[in-house]
Every structure is written in C-alpha cells, then in structure tokens.
Structure 1
Amino acid sequence: MSSLQLGVSGIALVPQSTGYALLIGLGVAFCGVILVALQIQKAYLSEDSGTSEMFMVANRSVGTGLTASAVFSSWMWINETVFAAAMCYRFGIAVPLWWATGLCFQIALMAALGVLAKIRVPYAHTSLEIIRMRYGKIGHVVFIILNITNNVFGCASMILTGSQLVYGISGIHFAAATVLIPLGVVLYTAVGGLKATFLTDYLHTAIALLLIIYFTLEVLTNEAVGGLGGLYDKVMANASANFIEGNFEGSVLTFKSKQAIIWALILKFGNLALVVMDTAFWQKSFATEVNATVPGYNLAALAIFGVPWGLGTVFGLTARALHNTPIWPTYPSPLTQAQVNAGLVMPYTVKALIGAPGIAAFFVLLFMALTSTVSSSMIAVSSILSFDVYKTYLNPRASDKTLVHVSHLTVIFHGVFITGVALALNYGGANMTWIGYFRPILSCPGIIPLALTLLWDRQTCLAAILSPILGFFTGLAIWLGTSKALYGEISMASTGMGLPALYGATASFFSPALYSVLLSSYKPSVFDWAVFLRIELAEETQLARSSGALPASDATSAADEDDEKATQPHTEKAVAGPDISILAPNPEHSPTVQKNNAAIFASPSPPSSSLSLTHPTHPFPPATLRKLHWWHRVAWAWFGVIVLVTFVAWPLPLYRDYIFTRSFFAGWVGVAIAWQFFAFAAVVVYPVYDGWSEIAKGARGVWGAVKGWVGSRG
C-alpha cells in the first residue's frame, strides 16, 4: 500500500458499493439532464451548440442571473467547502473569513477586465486570442503555456483532492475515483459546450447551496452541539486541548493568528492566478450580454463570500468541540494531521452528528464541487487547443463545423490527460499543502502582463514575453533561497513552510510589473487599440468563406492578410488616441452581442467594407459603447470597495489581543449563516426570475410536443 493511501486512510463512512453508485449515478444523471436541456434549447430557443460561437461563448447571450450562477459554481471549488472546515480546525476562526476575503476580489477584478474586453475586443473567444493579436506568435505560445499549466495544475489538484476524499470516506480505490469523477463531465461538456456548462453550473449551484445550508443548520441544531451558545461553550471548555501555536493565547476563537494570515495571503495570490490566468473566467465574460458582465460577476463575488465563512466556521469549530468525545468516528484515536490535511474534518463531523444519510448527502456535495471545476476547465482548455492551437497554427482555414468537431475531441483529450495527471500526482504521494504553496509561484507571473495587455497601450511585445518568464524565476529563486536561509536546507519540508512560499508568491506576482515597465522603456511604442477589432472581422471572413457567402478568392486573400497580421506583434502608434469609443460604428455590423456572427453573412453578398481588415470599425453603436464605459467605471469602483472592506476595514481591526466573547461569536456566525441564504437568493432564485421568459418558452414548447405526441398515440 502506498504512503498516500496510508495518509488518508481512516474509518470507512459508507460502503464501497454506495460510493460507486453515487459517483456513477450522479454522472449519468447530469449527462442525461444536460442532453435533454440541449435538445429543448435547439428546438424551442434557437440555440444550437453545433456552431463555434455557441460552443465557445454561448452566442454571447447569457444574462445576469445565469452568469452569476455559473461564475459562482466555477469558483466554488472543493476548497471552499471541505478544506475551509479543515483549515479552520487547524488554525482557528480567522481562517474562514480570510478564505472568504480571498475569493471575492478576484471575481470583482474579472468583472472590470471582462467589460473592458467587451469594449476593446468585442468578439474575442479566448484571452489568448487577444495576446496573439497584440504580441504575435512568440507571445501567444508563452501565454498558452502559462494558461494551460495553470489550468491543468489547478484542475488536477482538485481531482486529486476529491479522489483522496472518496478513498478516505468509502474505501474506493483512488485510481477508480480519479477516473469516475471527470467521466460524466467529459460527456456532457463534449456535446454541449459552454452553454452546457452554464446550465449544469446552475444545477451544481442550486444543489450545493441547499446542501451547505442544510449541513450548517443541521449541525448547529444537533443536541450534541446545542446551537451557537452551546458550540461556543464546548469550544471554550476544550480550550486546553485545542491549543494552537501562533494564536493569541493559543485560542481557536481569536482572529490574531500568525499562521492563518500567512496562509491567507498565499491563498489570495494563488486564487488570483486561478481566476485571471484561467480562460474559463474570460470566456464566461465573453459569453455574457453587454449589461450582464459587471452585475453578474459582482453578484457571484458577494455570494461566494458566505460559503467558506459560514460552513468553514461551523464545521471547523464543531470538530474542535467533539473530536475527543465518544461520538467522534475515530474515538478514542485522535484525529491525525494527515487526516486533517486530507479534508476528513467535515465528513467525520457529518458522520458523528447526522449519520449515514448525511454522508450520502456529503458525497453529493463533493460531486457538485468537483464537477463544476472540471467542466469549466474542460471548456477552457478545449478552446485553447481548438481555437488558439489548431485553428491558428494547424488549420487556419478550418470551417465552423470542423472547429466544433475539434472542440469536441479536445474536450475528450483534456479529460483523459487531466485524469492521467491526477493519477500521477496521487501515485507520487503529492501533498496538497505543498501544491498550494507552489502554485502561486508558477501561475502568478502572467497576471500583470496579461492585465496590462488590455490596460496599458505601452507594454511592448518584448516586455509581455519576458516579464512573466523573469517573474517566475524570480519567485522561484526567492522561494528556494528563503527556504535555505530559514531552515538550512532545500527540501519538500522546508519549501512547504508558509514564509518561503509567501515571499516567493509575492515576488512572482509583483516582479513582472517592474520587468514590464523596464523592458517597455527599451524601444517604446504605443499600441493602437483598434487593431483588436480585426479579431471579429477575421472571424466573419472565415465564416463567410466556409459557408460560401464570399467568393473564394476574396475570402482567401482576406484570410491570408489576417494570418499575416495576426502572427506579427502590433505596436503601431495610435492615430487618434487609445479610446476606441470614438470610432464610428459600422452599420453593416450587428448592433447587439446576442446576434451570432454567422448571421451577419446570411445575405449572399455582404458589402466588402464590412470585411475590411485595414480600417476596422467598432461593431457596437455609440449608445452601447457609452453604457459599456459606464459599467467599466462601476466595475473598478466596486473592485476598490471590495478590496478596502475585505482587506482592511473588516479583518485588520480584529487582528489584536482579543478572544471572541459569547455574544460576539453568536453574531459573527449568525451573519455568516444569513450570508448563505443571501447567496441562495442571488445565484439560485434570481437566475430563475431573470431567465423566466426563456424558461416559459421552453416549457411551452415541451408541453406542446408532449401533447402532440400523446394525441398522435391516441
């Protein structure tokens, strides 16, 4: 038996047969539901996943409610549920709030970047497409590597964590769990594309939040806990047995925790990379309606706050209160550090207080958290491989049908590949704490150069290419050097400590900004934002050529021109200023983002001016551009508010010599639980209200079809 299996082994909480039935059954059920939903969309809502626009960016027609639900689901990783409880058990009550503050500001930042992308690159498909248009092939390849590495590393680590949990709970071999977890996701994602993930994200969100609220209330109201007051009294009574080194007076009920704040800062860097460097979050912003990006993303940012705060606090402290009592599953044996690191704090608490039905429900929650992560990862990597690799370098003249076919294949390929990576990590005995500390150093260097691609017209091609590479080696050197200086050696143990990881992550994140400014001062140039408009025009040209709407010679010459331009870095001097809102709209272009690009070429002979790659014009009318600029200002203002409140105004005054009193604790946890209900209203109830017309239209179509079928049978 491997050391990994020994590390997460414990009490089998459900039989293997139950575990297999839940994993397979849930995967099949979700696949069936999404296939039915896709047929309804195609038949009654005129949405066909057989086009690349629908497959990659959902025809850019997703509203506020569904956007909020999808972003929430994609960001509700297993960490926010299971590991928030484990880390609260380990470091105390400060961790869940720090975790919550480490989730929302990244989504608020993506709201600002997403709406800016709509202004400057209105018909982009992936963030890497923007990189290619500005920096050429070399920059494109560098950021492809950065994005795929970040995506694969994050997704594989989640599957790794889930397979270890499944093994620890049911005894299912982790190799079998690693294969079964992504299997159903591969099937429905390959068929449905991004809109399929939006729909399943909503189902994930609804089920997961219901279970989170159920678990929180069921545990608190259990007679062994005795409500908020009972929980506080039991934790205080066990204070001597729950001493935490580095906390004020060793208490789990103090916000002054040195280890918690170090860990929280590392988490913030890592999470920022997982959002900005993940093309899935960019694609979701591309897929939204004009007025849905900012409110949708910020609604999700507020909603996600309540998940780790409420759930992590209740379960982490309940485990501290009960882990040395006879009802605890491992009693009289203590809860080991390996079991805590494997995330077994929450399922053990569920088993102790709710029993076998609770473990079955926990299994469902685990499945929801895992598959929502995997589905968004698959679409993101599929889009990179099909659009940024295949279409760009292997088959530039690929038709829309071919591109969709390749997207399907790359979803399957990524599913197989990510399963292999997770298995390799499992058999290699990967430590999740070490992975969490290394990931920011690997993923953070590309964040600032990527953001500056949209924000700063003076970042040069050389700076964009070299600054993330130099940033990575800077962070790596500081991480290893600090490990050697503080602990006398460079080893898995020393590099897995908090301070070296924090110093390395800080350098990895901030140093590329310095490198970018310095390198951009060498042979400076000013980028013309209007160049980004060629992305949309080039795609129209390809669609027109593949559908026969353009003469072959015209289409070929236009495509050749685009291929040549797209592979060269663009550093032209801006002719009229960097703000593209001054560009006049082209009346031949679609005035709304809901319109499919292919529809622009429904006429047999589109005007040649609409295909000009030399003098591109913005597809949005002035009123839409003014609205987008307003949303852009709102997004940055809201981002600033979230950072100030969640980084400074709320947590820092609590970082003092203070142990929560009984009344303060009751209010603290009460607000956290209320936040869970707000999250349910924001990302479960509101999307139904927001999309009611489409739901009603689809329901009427299905009802009419059923009545017709019944009538024909009679």
Structure 2
Amino acid sequence: MSVQLGVSGVALIPQATGYGVLIGLGVAFCGVILGAVKIQKAYLSEDSGTSEMFMVANRSVGTGLTASAVFSSWMWINETVFSAAMCYKFGLAVPFWWATGLCFQIALMAALGVLAKIRVPYAHTSLEIIRMRYGNIGHVVFIVLNITNNVFGCASMILTGSQLIFGISGMHFVAATILIPIGVVLYTAVGGLKATFLTDYLHTTIALVLIIYFTFSVLTHEAVGGLGGLYDKIIATAGDNIIEGNYKGSLLTMKSENAIIWGLILKFGNLALVVMDTAFWQKSFATEVKATVPGYNLAAVAIFGIPWGLGTVIGLTTRAIHNTAIFPTYPGEFTLAQVNAGFVMPYTIKALIGDHGIVAFLVLLFMALTSTISSSMIAVSSILSFDVYKTYINPKASDKRLVHVSHITVVIHGIFITGVSLALNYGGANMTWIGYFRPILSCPGIIPLALTLCWSGQTRLAAIISPILGFFTGLSIWLGTAHAIYGEINMTTTGASLPALYGAIGSFFSPALYSVLISQYKPYKFDWRQFLVIEITEQAQLEESGKSSDEEKDGNNSSSSEKTRTDTKSAAISNPEKDSDIENDATNTSDQKSPSDIAITKAALPKNVSLDDVCHPFNDDTLRELHRWYRIAWFMFAGIVLVSFILWPMPLYRDYVFGKTFFKSWTTVAIIWQFFAFFAVVVYPLYDGRYEILKGVRGVWNEGKQRFSSH
C-alpha cells in the first residue's frame, strides 16, 4: 500500500532534523563507499574501473554478502511501514500473508540464477540473454518491460518516502524527493555493483537493529504491557475495532477476506518486481558458483520475519492506543487517509518512544529507500550501457568506455527517476492505483523470460508476442471486471482489489498459454551451446576494438580480471583448428530451426567455429556442482511454496479467533525470526568474509605503519 497524495499529518519533528538526517546519512554513506572502493582496489585487487567489476562484481561475491544484499534490496518500505498500516486496517493475517509474499520469488531467482550460470556463464544482464536468443526485436520488448517495471517500483518508493517525510516533519516533498536519491547516485556511480553490496550490508545491519529495537521498545512500554497486555487491550477494544470481512470482525483471526486478497495481489506484484528486475539477476551473476542458491534462499527465509513480526506488533499496538491521550492525533480522529499514508508506524513510535524514536524511524526509512534505489541504479545503468549503448549505439565500445557510460547513466537515471517522482507528486497520482496496475504491466514478461532459460522450444515469435498479448489480456480482464462488478470504469473502480487481482492473474498466466501455442508455429529446438558461441563472438569483437583503440589498451593494461575472463572464454572453443563452415552447420540443423532463427545464429556465430567445437568454460566438476545446486534450488522453491502457501496458513483460515496463549506464541515466533534474520544476513556475512576483511584490515594497518614510520 503506497501513499495517498495530499495527506498531511501531525508534525512530529522539526524540518531541520529531517534535512540533517537525509543530508548527513547521504554524505556518510558516500564517505564509507569511497573508502571501501579504495581499500578494495589497493588490497583486494578489485577495481571498479572495469565493466566486470562495475556490473557483476567480478562474479566473486560469497554466500553471506549475497544473502545480505538480496535481503536489503528486497526490504522495501512496504515490509516495514506499510505492513504495519495494513495490519491496522485488516488485522494480524496481513503481516503473515505479506511475509509469504516475499519468500518464493527470491527462491525462484535462486534456481533461475544457477541455470543462467549453466547456460550463459558470462552474462551481465537478463536482457543480454534475451537478445542472444531472440534478436533485437525481442530485446527491445523486454527492455521496455524491465525499465518500466524498474521505474514504477523505484519512483513509487521515492514518492512514498518523500510523502512520509513531508507528513512527519513538514519538509517540502520536492526537497525530500531530491535528497533521497542524490547520495545513492554518488556512491553507486563511483563503486558500481560491489559498492551496492557493501552499502546493502550496512543498510541491512542498521535496519535490522532498528526493527528489533522498535519491536521491543513498543511491546515493553507500560501503555502496552508486553504480548499479554497487548492481547488484553485488543480484546477490550474489540467493539470499537470491527473489521469488515474478518471472522467476527476480529483483528485476531486468519480468516480475513481482505487480507488474503491483498496477499495474492502482493505475490504477483512482488514476483514481477523480482524476476523482471535486472538487479536481482545481476546479483546472481555476481555470486560465486557455490553462493547463489544458499545466499538467495537464506535471504528468502530471513525476510519472512520482518513484515510478520514488526507489522503485527506495530499494527495491533496502534489499534490499542489510537484513541488514547498519548497518540499524536488525539483527541482528533486517526483518519483512513492518514493510515493509507503510512502514518501508523511513526505515530505509534512517537507516542511510545518519543522524539529520538522518530529520528530512528527516519534512519530506517532512509535505509529502506536507498537500498532499493542503489539496486535500481546499477540495474538501469547496466541496461542502458550494455543493452542499449553497446548493442545499438557503439558495438565496438571498449571496456573503459562502457564503465564511463555506466557512470553517466547512473546519474541520468537518478535525475530521471527524481523527475518521475516529482511528476507523480504534482500530477496527483494515486499510488495505490499504480500499485495495482504495476502487476498487470510487469507480469506478462515473467514466464517468457523464465522459459528463455528453461525451455528450448520457445520460439522467437512466441517470446516477442506472448508478453504483449498477456498485457492486453490482463488489461482487458482488469477493466472488464471493474465494469462487471461496479458498473463503470474509473480510477476508483479500477483501484479496487478484486479487479486488480483478476487482472494480475490473467496477465501472469496467459503468456504461458500464448507461448506454447505460438511456438507450435514453425517449431524448433534451441541449441544451448549457441549462448556460449555468441559470448565468444562478443568478446572477440571487444578484443578487436582494443587493438585499434588506445583507450582500450589503457583499459586492458589496468584490468587483469578482464584478461582472465577473455582467456577463459577463449578456452570454451575446444578445437579451434577444425575448419568448419557455418553455412554447413546451419544447413545441417535447419530441420530444427525456423528461417529467422537460422539467420540469428548465422549472424551470431564467429567464422570457423562450429557448435560441435564449443565446450563449456567451466570444468566438469564445476558443472556437476551447478547442476546439483540447480536441483536443490527447485526443491527449496517447492518447499517454501508448499509450507508458506498451504501447510501453514490454510489450516488457520477457519472460524477461529486467536486465544491469548496462541497469540503470544505466534508473535514470539515472529520476533525470534527477526533475530534469525539478524544472524543470517548481518553476523554470518562477517564470518563468511572474514579472510577478505582481515586482508583489507592488514593492508590498511601496514600502510598506516609505513606512513607513520616515514614521518
């Protein structure tokens, strides 16, 4: 649930405090990253001046840091601020359904990420894979889908954050909108993807400490009286807090129609935000072979406790105290507009913790916003530099030139996304409506994108047409359902939950049917080895441009990692002496390919290289390990879906109101899960990266000693 524009709340802190937090944290993070980048380059041989390091962190990120980065990128404002608001509206079922709507997408990306390593071991973006298989038209279609999804998601978060800051401090939303992304632009442009991994870790650490702090501070306040006191207060005020659609109108039941509908919409929308976001693909490309599946699944399990624990405690506590003298709006009414604006959490923190609690809330808000924005910056800059600039503007661009363009596009995207957020503010857009529309727009590409790696039978035509048809199918269902239920089509009726749910379902599932049917027209089987050959071709083009470019020579001299990648990819040709004509190869396999796909293959394959001469750059042991992790990833995905969708919540969807003992046990488990998240994505990354940390510390220490001795 996102902010409703035009809502002003009670000013909880002075404007100066808001400016100080935003500017101070932005400068602090820039300083930390500049120092970290310098240490990486000096002591860990990690140079963000190469495209491999800038875009995919040299494909060397371990399990702990992967889990922390994925967790941070997925810990949006929604999981904290708005899970509490929705719990206030519909009861304790919402935070649980919210938690189940965050896990399976990350588990799915673990499987797709490992498969990408097997099929396309040196990819930079998911769109690069699309272009390799389907050509430029398919590439452009998915560029539009990816960037639109990214812009809608990122702009809505900036808009939501600026409106929250405006509501609690009185700071003008234009100032907040500009200040939120500006620091992220600076450190992302300098440090690249590895910088976002490092800042994601800092975001995660600070945010989890604050989340645990808020949970315990609220529960232990004398006005709440712990879990038992909270339950007693909810029961005592039950007559004033009747929730339509809940069993007996209770806040303490899992049988809630609005909660389960919201949970389903959230699942489809979040699936699009993950699979159609290049940032999550890039993080999987950046991981070590052994780190993708455990890192992603650790984050998937850890994220469960955030909306469940925090949302339940804050949302129900607000219900218990919103009509008491300590609440900021008392004796006035706490309106639905203020609830939808996300003021549930800051008002409760103000009432129970005070001014220092609101400052801490602003810090948490900054952490959630900037982790999302930094991930978006790298994703979009990679699309614009690698998928647009290198593909269509300057195919012979050197490695150094690509990094330079990436820096520029980070800044461009930062300016653009700020402008979009301001336009939405001034245009009076209803962000709830946009949140409902986003799955309809973004979901059609999910299945065709997954099938690009999973099914060799999906044809080029199917991949191009099925997302377009899926979008129009979802749009038709959305508008048709709104008219059928409410008798008219307008912003109000299309912003209702049922039309949005049915539209999202149609938008998500129909492309699967379209893809299968369209693929029966001129069917063929794609040879996965073509991915490897195309990668070899592109690397050869980069080398050729380097021979005639002084700029590229300079870039190559400073980049040992790029040379290693080149040598590895060259080794993928197992028998370069064999003289094989590409025309014969295409002719021999023409019974399996459509004419258009043969044309793509001819254009992609280098001269004198046959598919029979290409082997995978990974050795047999590494490939066996990847296939093992691939199987494990699907087992994990199936287990998470089975437990979180069916075995756990479905038995509770019945005529039952939580008793006191059950409620205390339920919430205690949710709070314990927060501590599990802390150890999984804060403590474990320190242990996992202990050698790199020690190496960096030793380097700084030794250099400091040398400088001190010289003086």
TM-score, structure 2 normalization: 0.92
Higher deviation after alignment, 5-14 or 207-216: 5-14
Q: Deviations over 1:547-579 (max 9, x none)?
A: 43xx89xx9xxxxxxxxxxxxxxxxxxxxxxxx
* Displacement of 1:601: 5.0
Match of 1:190, SS state, is helix
For residue 667 of structure 1, the aligned residue among 661, 665, 668 is 665
The CA distance in 2 between the partners of 1:330 and 1:59, in whole Å, is 52
Find the counterpart in structure 2 of residue 206 from structure 1: 205
Q: Does 1:315 align with 2:314?
A: yes
Find the counterpart in structure 2 of residue 371 from structure 1: 370
Find the counterpart in structure 1 of residue 244 from structure 2: 245
Question: CA separation of 1:239/1:660 partners in 2, compared to 1, >3 Å: closer, same or farther?
Answer: same
Q: Deviations over 1:577-636 (max 9, x none)?
A: xxxxxxxxxxxxxxxxx9934225579x99996787544321000000000000000000
- In the TM superposition, 1:449-528 aligns within 5 A as 449-528=448-527
Q: Does 1:19 align with 2:21?
A: no
Find the counterpart in structure 1 of residue 593 from structure 2: none
Are the equivalent residues in 1 in contact too, given 2:4–2:432 (CA < 8 A)?
Answer: no
Question: CA separation of 1:171/1:525 partners in 2, compared to 1, >3 Å: closer, same or farther?
Answer: same
Q: Deviations over 1:113-150 (max 9, x none)?
A: 00000001101000000000000010000000000000
Are the equivalent residues in 2 in contact too, given 1:55–1:404 (CA < 8 A)?
Answer: yes
Task: Give structure 1 stretches of 5+ with no counterpart.
Answer: 556-593
- In the TM superposition, 1:105-144 aligns within 5 A as 105-144=104-143
Match of 2:333, SS state, is coil
Find the counterpart in structure 2 of residue 582 from structure 1: none
Question: CA separation of 1:343/1:613 partners in 2, compared to 1, >3 Å: closer, same or farther?
Answer: farther
* Displacement of 1:710: 1.6
Question: CA separation of 1:156/1:137 partners in 2, compared to 1, >3 Å: closer, same or farther?
Answer: same
Find the counterpart in structure 1 of residue 27 from structure 2: 28
Q: Which one-letter code corresponds to 1:77 in the other structure? A: W
- In the TM superposition, 1:232-311 aligns within 5 A as 232-311=231-310
Are the equivalent residues in 1 in contact too, given 2:55–2:193 (CA < 8 A)?
Answer: yes
* Displacement of 1:538: 2.9
Question: CA separation of 1:595/1:85 partners in 2, compared to 1, >3 Å: closer, same or farther?
Answer: farther
* Displacement of 1:707: 1.2
- In the TM superposition, 1:376-455 aligns within 5 A as 376-455=375-454
TM-score, structure 1 normalization: 0.91
Are the equivalent residues in 1 in contact too, given 2:305–2:674 (CA < 8 A)?
Answer: yes
* Displacement of 1:406: 0.2
Find the counterpart in structure 1 of residue 555 from structure 2: none
The CA distance in 2 between the partners of 1:218 and 1:76, in whole Å, is 21
The CA distance in 1 between the partners of 2:469 and 2:538, in whole Å, is 34
The CA distance in 2 between the partners of 1:696 and 1:53, in whole Å, is 24
Q: Does 1:703 align with 2:685?
A: no
Q: Which one-letter code corresponds to 1:225 in the other structure? A: V
Q: Which one-letter code corresponds to 1:223 in the other structure? A: E
Match of 2:658, SS state, is coil
* Displacement of 1:6: 7.3
* Displacement of 1:10: 1.4
Are the equivalent residues in 2 in contact too, given 1:400–1:546 (CA < 8 A)?
Answer: no
The CA distance in 2 between the partners of 1:387 and 1:188, in whole Å, is 20
The CA distance in 2 between the partners of 1:534 and 1:154, in whole Å, is 35
The CA distance in 1 between the partners of 2:695 and 2:188, in whole Å, is 24
Find the counterpart in structure 2 of residue 77 from structure 1: 76
Are the equivalent residues in 2 in contact too, given 1:319–1:345 (CA < 8 A)?
Answer: yes
The CA distance in 2 between the partners of 1:299 and 1:534, in whole Å, is 34
The CA distance in 2 between the partners of 1:429 and 1:263, in whole Å, is 24
Q: Deviations over 1:471-523 (max 9, x none)?
A: 00000011001101100110111001111001100000000000001100111
Match of 1:240, SS state, is helix
Question: CA separation of 1:595/1:51 partners in 2, compared to 1, >3 Å: closer, same or farther?
Answer: closer
Find the counterpart in structure 1 of residue 590 from structure 2: none
* Displacement of 1:8: 2.1
Find the counterpart in structure 1 of residue 561 from structure 2: 596
* Displacement of 1:327: 0.2
Are the equivalent residues in 2 in contact too, given 1:538–1:613 (CA < 8 A)?
Answer: no
Cα RMSD of the aligned pairs, angstroms, is: 1.8
Q: Which one-letter code corresponds to 1:396 in the other structure? A: P
Q: Deviations over 1:310-336 (max 9, x none)?
A: 000000000000000000000011111
* Displacement of 1:433: 1.7
Are the equivalent residues in 2 in contact too, given 1:243–1:251 (CA < 8 A)?
Answer: yes
Question: CA separation of 1:613/1:496 partners in 2, compared to 1, >3 Å: closer, same or farther?
Answer: farther
Question: CA separation of 1:139/1:49 partners in 2, compared to 1, >3 Å: closer, same or farther?
Answer: same
Higher deviation after alignment, 682-691 or 430-439: 430-439
Q: Which one-letter code corresponds to 1:31 in the other structure? A: C
Q: Which one-letter code corresponds to 1:483 in the other structure? A: A
The CA distance in 1 between the partners of 2:265 and 2:366, in whole Å, is 26
The CA distance in 2 between the partners of 1:83 and 1:419, in whole Å, is 22
Match of 1:7, SS state, is coil
Are the equivalent residues in 2 in contact too, given 1:121–1:535 (CA < 8 A)?
Answer: no
Find the counterpart in structure 1 of residue 689 from structure 2: 691
* Number of residues of Structure 1 aligned to a counterpart in Structure 2: 667
Q: Which one-letter code corresponds to 1:678 in the other structure? A: F
Are the equivalent residues in 2 in contact too, given 1:8–1:167 (CA < 8 A)?
Answer: no
Match of 2:313, SS state, is helix
- In the TM superposition, 1:651-666 aligns within 5 A as 651-666=649-664
The percent of aligned pairs where both chains have the same amino acid is 76
The CA distance in 1 between the partners of 2:571 and 2:299, in whole Å, is 41
Find the counterpart in structure 1 of residue 635 from structure 2: 637
Question: CA separation of 1:662/1:120 partners in 2, compared to 1, >3 Å: closer, same or farther?
Answer: same
Task: Give structure 2 stretches of 5+ with no counterpart.
Answer: 553-558, 577-605
Q: Which one-letter code corresponds to 2:408 in the other structure? A: L
Q: Does 1:351 align with 2:350?
A: yes
Are the equivalent residues in 2 in contact too, given 1:280–1:377 (CA < 8 A)?
Answer: yes
Match of 1:633, SS state, is helix
Are the equivalent residues in 2 in contact too, given 1:537–1:613 (CA < 8 A)?
Answer: no
Q: Deviations over 1:376-403 (max 9, x none)?
A: 0010000000000000000000000000
The CA distance in 1 between the partners of 2:97 and 2:231, in whole Å, is 20
Are the equivalent residues in 1 in contact too, given 2:5–2:430 (CA < 8 A)?
Answer: no
- In the TM superposition, 1:155-174 aligns within 5 A as 155-174=154-173
* Displacement of 1:546: 4.3
Find the counterpart in structure 2 of residue 560 from structure 1: none
The CA distance in 2 between the partners of 1:624 and 1:527, in whole Å, is 23
Are the equivalent residues in 2 in contact too, given 1:124–1:535 (CA < 8 A)?
Answer: no
Q: Deviations over 1:253-297 (max 9, x none)?
A: 111000111111000000000000000000000000000000000
Match of 1:596, SS state, is helix
Question: CA separation of 1:440/1:607 partners in 2, compared to 1, >3 Å: closer, same or farther?
Answer: closer
The CA distance in 1 between the partners of 2:260 and 2:359, in whole Å, is 34
Match of 1:8, SS state, is coil
The CA distance in 2 between the partners of 1:635 and 1:432, in whole Å, is 35
* Displacement of 1:451: 0.3
Are the equivalent residues in 2 in contact too, given 1:95–1:264 (CA < 8 A)?
Answer: yes
Q: Which one-letter code corresponds to 2:649 in the other structure? A: P
Match of 2:6, SS state, is helix
The CA distance in 2 between the partners of 1:514 and 1:136, in whole Å, is 22
Q: Which one-letter code corresponds to 2:21 in the other structure? A: L
Are the equivalent residues in 1 in contact too, given 2:4–2:340 (CA < 8 A)?
Answer: no
Q: Deviations over 1:54-73 (max 9, x none)?
A: 00000000000000000000
